[in-house]
Amino acid sequence: MFDTKDAERSEAINRLKVAMLIFSWDEVPGNASGRLLKFLKQEFGISWVETAKIEKIHNDKEIRVSAGKNHLSLKLNDEKTRVKLKIDDGRTVEFIAKSEDGKLNIYESSESETDADAEEPQGKLRWNILLDRLRL
């Protein structure tokens, strides 16, 4: 029999499948910079972002975050549908870009939240953060 707890769990699972907004491309650098830096620190353990410089380069198609020898880049594809994060330690992740209400919003891709990724430490961290946000 399907009880209330099962319905709550089902709803929580459906919410996990929805891509989560990371930041608005148009507001970095600017109002969304803090949100982006917090995401990078929490999701990827990049503590150096606290003192980083943020700039847009290549006709606003790339965001570069740097502090001393450390750096990362977020590159927007020509179609403005994907953003590729490249971290100086070799990690890469792809995000979804969607134009909404005149802003280009960047979302965490559901592809990066698969069970296969849960085998990796960063995948586990991502799942734990998502589950913490959905406390039942």
Domain ranges of the chain: 18-109
pLDDT in the model for residue 47: 94
pLDDT in the model for residue 119: 42
pLDDT in the model for residue 136: 45
Q: What is the mean pLDDT of residues 102-127?
A: 60
Q: Enter the pTM of the model.
A: 0.69
Nearest to 101, CA basis, from 5, 21, 9: 21
Give, in order, the Cα–Cα distances in Å from 50 to each of 8, 39, 108.
37, 11, 21
